[in-house]
Structure 1
């Protein structure tokens, strides 16, 4: 008997917190062992890119370390409201964010940490014909890539006769995906799920980086989904490859302990119970025994003897209790409802066949084969390859509870938002969506460009408006209860000016410009959303704008937070707001006439609402 292996236990604890830092190595005795990659662990805990030349089992590519570092690198940005692009801005809890999704994911880290139940993304497939426009600072030029991948020497002379362009395509795509997936994992609830659509070009690499970020044990399924096939190959006698008739959805959980809910395809009408043959062709002598006067000479009975005899007794009990009244289906369902126990029944039919009862079914249990559903939607005029709402509705209905949040940070045509609204309208749920889409111009050859679309983000918002209107109209008098709006925001630079200057850079004439740290042109609503992010508050909270003593005051979540960012804050205004006893109050620092006025405001809150957290920005 040996004492517990504390080192192994500590490695397990580290793997729970940082799944990507454990790997495999050969120990001193020549055995394969699970170990901690301290270079990666140091990188998780440090603000620097670390170097580590030791070889190990892992997926690697030029630029990986810098890509991993970029996930932790802070940014001086914020989310600014776009009220004119929104629908039901003040009350809707849905979000549409325009901007680089890497920035958006960083900005949402505090407000939505551990709050997202489902993430679905449909990233660029990296086929060579598609394109991904994410201007990350770590994107490498050709010269840097050749040096990092060992294709040129110190003098820049190429060591290979041809440029490995395919390798760079993979490296750029992996560097784009890696930090986004790392940040996305933080946002998932403990039982949260990630769904990623992908095709054969990058599915192998995507699986490897997801294994590294989430842990290999968190991979639940690789789902196959049917895609439309173009029959252009029919004109040729031979082919370079068969047409691809399906794509994939990788399904990962926040941790390996997560259990998935059962997934069924609901029948339009419930299928009644039926009797089926109890004998099976599988040849197991131990499962051949006398039952109802019959002993098989080959094959086997479906269940072991004890369960079979109990099923016979259940059927005899049914016959004794019910005489020409209740059907076996009703008897089974009544017992199931009352006891939550599924009864088995076995009988011998009039022709002497031993049969078992197959209960009524309201749906068909589904596997990772989703070939019953079509991948592409063709539901918009502007997009050629958007996913179908039926596909997203299956995911949302299956994996997301009625009050939970769905995130899609490659929003594209906004199918995810459309699907969330459809499912809510169908079952009365109040699910919320958070969509992120880069404000890029559509490819000039795309249907969106031909339709005159300015940006993909604008097309996405337009689809949400149309879908929301249709759902509200279809709901009739109950349409006002559906949240079919969205709060439009955009990623932008911080609202605060850079006031860090050396004495040599500051003269007497510029001192007055340093009094207010807020950039010109930024509104009170801009400042409010930066406060929400800084405090880690939900960006989807309800907001009301009031006039108090002639000042614009923002009242958030029925008074949980009050804010006034005007250039002049009076003592009377402060006193009125303090009597409301909010949890938090925030003002513009330059709105106070002096430091004494700001200190006096804090004293007023201490007297009238001592539990209020008061801040000035």
Structure 2
């Protein structure tokens, strides 16, 4: 498991992921020895024009290092919070909360959720100098390692080491931090997936270039300014009252949900309200036309009174028709259309200062259409596209985010979270009712709150995945003091992830209270990402299967639930499934779909016979892989026994193809 990963990481280079993608789509450009034929590749992608050698790109110290970090696998294991996950509200939940570094979290998610996320929202550190961002990682690369892996000079390697080991809030450090995470996030998005990133002026321009690099400049959709506060003291030359929301898509397959038009003039109702919805009065039927048409210049009789465009007399109208001017008053509708509209409730006559005026109705859910048989009333759903100025409305400000938290916690836990209204809008315009939403800078879990709230309102079954580093909250930091006291008073660990989880629980309680008939998923599964401790790593290094050395404490160090959760996710089953325990002659194995997992020691010949019997008599039992925890079975004889019996089983009448894998 961990040992396998460490060995694989030794062979990883900064461009390993990119090479895998190229091999998938441009296999012909690789020679037998694995070298890449650039000339042939250029010919493959050329469109009848010469390939330009020069390019425009964002360069920064540590870019190749960030690629290396994105390419190496994580050595963390997934520890399920068994007590929390077994609670009734969480046992069957499809929502996920991960406590751990989001770089590790993204790598784990890619094993089961690759190309399955519809919407990502993140609110990363803004690198303002006051938001606590300092780059630091725990990867133990030496200067010599980096020179070899990145093909950089000794000086460049030293500067990268300085960024990672001493901690830095420079632009390069921030870009290096974001680049590795965005590379992974892109691979999680569905083809019609989208990502929204909150940012302010400090890194806004750099983030735009970084996203152009990761997602492609052609996949930039919009940049929304967002109001942060309406009032505030001017600390510099101007008052800074907004930040930004950067919006990218994975591909051009994206379609956005448009917003309903209720309340935007659609305030009137008539006898057709049930099928057509509310309506608004549109402009008068007569107007000064840019292009006059005699066919639109006709008389309309209303209650015995004859009306003409522009309140003209009969003589004026006839003169106008003879002259056929380029521009003058006429009706907007043809005579046939008016007669149909008038008979079917699309016309209103109102008394004005200069006499009667004819108005048309625009219904929310109906319009007049025409086909070969004539006019008919067609059902429509009028919507509007989201404006780039949408988030300048004060309901999206930080003032409202503070109110959101105060309503749940009764105290002002944090000052700079995002409001639920912002995330609810983002999720509503980008997702359908069964999509998955990811936030890997979860913070106070506003995104999870918004997903639950929206599901309760529209009956959706959207799922959320939150990832949050368990940042320690200190009473010595003014901005964290209230949050620390809240966690202490509620007997919770003083880390930021527990603020987020508590918010989800409290938001769920409010939804239950307000909507007692609600049946949406208001729970979540909780997992922690843990690095093996140094003692365990020493045991892994010293384990010698050839010498038949065994150390059953390795299983105890990891824990069976963690091994099972990590394997299920690594095999593509995700984090919300439960393996079935099966009894094999007194030995407990674990089974899910295509895999049987052997974790404990003690699997012997009798257990193997029981497994073969289960294959023979249970027609629904057809796992294709048998996976063994190597540290529990150092004896070669066990492996040989399993392989021998699997060959017999594979050669049987059922023609099975069962693979056998040992994991370390």
TM-score, normalised by the number of residues in structure 1: 0.71
Matches for 1:410-449 after TM superposition, within 5 Å: 410-442=441-473, 444-445=477-478, 446=480, 447-449=482-484
CA distance in 2, matches of 1:371, 1:417: 23
Report the equivalent of 2:281: 274
Report the equivalent of 1:599: 643
SS at match of 1:181: helix
Q: Is the 8 Å Cα contact of residues 231 and 241 (structure 2) preserved in structure 1? A: no
SS at match of 1:172: helix
CA distance in 2, matches of 1:597, 1:394: 59
CA distance in 1, matches of 2:139, 2:259: 41
Report the equivalent of 1:259: 255
Matches for 1:416-565 after TM superposition, within 5 Å: 416-442=447-473, 444-445=477-478, 446=480, 447-451=482-486, 452=488, 454-476=494-516, 478-479=517-518, 481-493=519-531, 511-514=547-550, 519-544=555-580, 550-556=586-592, 561-565=595-599
Report the equivalent of 1:245: 241
Q: 1:316 deviation in Å? A: 1.0
Q: 1:168 deviation in Å? A: 5.7
Report the equivalent of 1:315: 338
TM-score, normalised by the number of residues in structure 2: 0.66
Q: Is the 8 Å Cα contact of residues 71 and 182 (structure 1) preserved in structure 2? A: yes
Distance 1:552 1:497, change over 3 A: farther
Q: Is the 8 Å Cα contact of residues 497 and 518 (structure 1) preserved in structure 2? A: no
Superposed CA offset, 1:553-601 (max 9, x none): 4454xx5654342222323542465324144454435469723432355
CA distance in 2, matches of 1:568, 1:138: 37
Report the equivalent of 1:328: 346
SS at match of 2:190: strand
Distance 1:427 1:355, change over 3 A: closer
CA distance in 2, matches of 1:609, 1:525: 33
The question of 1:292 aligning with 2:297 is answered yes
The question of 1:117 aligning with 2:113 is answered no
Structure with more of its chain in helix, by fraction: 2
Matches for 1:209-228 after TM superposition, within 5 Å: 209-228=210-229
SS at match of 1:434: strand
Q: 1:193 deviation in Å? A: 0.7
The question of 1:375 aligning with 2:397 is answered yes
Q: Is the 8 Å Cα contact of residues 124 and 198 (structure 2) preserved in structure 1? A: yes
Distance 1:520 1:416, change over 3 A: same
Q: 1:356 deviation in Å? A: 4.9
SS at match of 2:483: helix
CA distance in 1, matches of 2:217, 2:512: 43
The question of 1:180 aligning with 2:224 is answered no
Q: 1:536 deviation in Å? A: 2.5
Q: Is the 8 Å Cα contact of residues 229 and 243 (structure 1) preserved in structure 2? A: no
Q: Is the 8 Å Cα contact of residues 349 and 356 (structure 2) preserved in structure 1? A: no
Q: Is the 8 Å Cα contact of residues 554 and 563 (structure 1) preserved in structure 2? A: yes
Q: Is the 8 Å Cα contact of residues 197 and 247 (structure 2) preserved in structure 1? A: yes
- Which deviates more from structure 2 when the two are superposed, residues 60-69 or residues 208-217? 60-69
Matches for 1:352-363 after TM superposition, within 5 Å: 356-360=360-364
SS at match of 2:471: coil
CA distance in 2, matches of 1:422, 1:180: 28
Report the equivalent of 1:94: 95
The question of 1:566 aligning with 2:586 is answered no
CA distance in 2, matches of 1:292, 1:354: 14
Query: Max radius of gyration: which structure?
Result: 2
CA distance in 2, matches of 1:426, 1:56: 48
Superposed CA offset, 1:348-398 (max 9, x none): 999475755433477665311122332331233432211111211112222
Q: Is the 8 Å Cα contact of residues 497 and 517 (structure 1) preserved in structure 2? A: no
Distance 1:348 1:36, change over 3 A: farther
Q: 1:434 deviation in Å? A: 0.9
Q: 1:511 deviation in Å? A: 3.5
Q: 1:528 deviation in Å? A: 1.6
CA distance in 2, matches of 1:115, 1:34: 37
CA distance in 1, matches of 2:228, 2:559: 47
Q: Is the 8 Å Cα contact of residues 560 and 584 (structure 1) preserved in structure 2? A: yes
Q: 1:292 deviation in Å? A: 2.5
Report the equivalent of 2:209: 208
Q: Is the 8 Å Cα contact of residues 608 and 642 (structure 2) preserved in structure 1? A: no
Report the equivalent of 2:193: 192
- Which deviates more from structure 2 when the two are superposed, residues 560-569 or residues 587-596? 587-596
Q: Is the 8 Å Cα contact of residues 59 and 208 (structure 1) preserved in structure 2? A: yes
CA distance in 1, matches of 2:528, 2:119: 22
- Which deviates more from structure 2 when the two are superposed, residues 84-93 or residues 455-464? 84-93
CA distance in 2, matches of 1:539, 1:71: 21
Q: 1:535 deviation in Å? A: 1.9
RMSD (Å) for aligned C-alpha atoms: 4.4
SS at match of 2:506: helix
SS at match of 1:231: coil
Superposed CA offset, 1:307-328 (max 9, x none): x555x422212335x5xxxx33
